[in-house]
Structure 1
Amino acid sequence: MRRLGELEAAVMDVLWSAPGPLTVRGVLGLLAREPELAYTTVMTVLDNLHRKDVVTRERVGRAWAYRPALAREEFDAEAMASVLESAADRGATLMRFIGKIPPEELAQLRALMDEDRR
Structure 2
Amino acid sequence: MAHQDDAPQPRTRRRGQGELEGQVLAALGRAQGPVSAGWVQERLGGDLAYTTVMTILTRLMAKNAVTRKREGRSFVWTSAADEAGLAALRMRKVLDGESDREAVLASFVTALPPGDERLLRELLGQAEGQEPDGEAER
Scaled by the length of structure 2, what TM-score is found?
A: 0.59
Cα displacement string for residues 4-52 of structure 1 (whole angstroms, at most 9, x for unaligned residues)? 85533432332234342221121112215xx6112233234334544x2
Task: Pick from 103, 109, 121 the counterpart of residue 98 of structure 1.
Answer: 109
**Structure 2 portions without partners, runs of 5+:** 1-16, 130-138
**Which structure carries more relative contact order (alpha carbon 8 Å, separation 6+)?**
1
Q: What does 1:64-79 align with in structure 2 at a 5 Å threshold?
A: 64-68=75-79, 70-72=80-82, 73-79=84-90
Query: Could you say which structure has the larger radius of gyration?
Result: 2
Give the match for residue 14 of structure 1: 27
Q: CA RMSD in A?
A: 2.9
Give the aligned residue type for 2:102: G
Task: Provide the identity percentage.
Answer: 38
- 1:6–1:77 Cα change, 3 Å: closer
Cα displacement string for residues 50-108 of structure 1 (whole angstroms, at most 9, x for unaligned residues)? 4x26332234455421112x323554444323322221322221122113323212112
Q: What does 1:22-41 align with in structure 2 at a 5 Å threshold?
A: 22-32=35-45, 36-41=47-52
Give the aligned residue type for 1:22: V
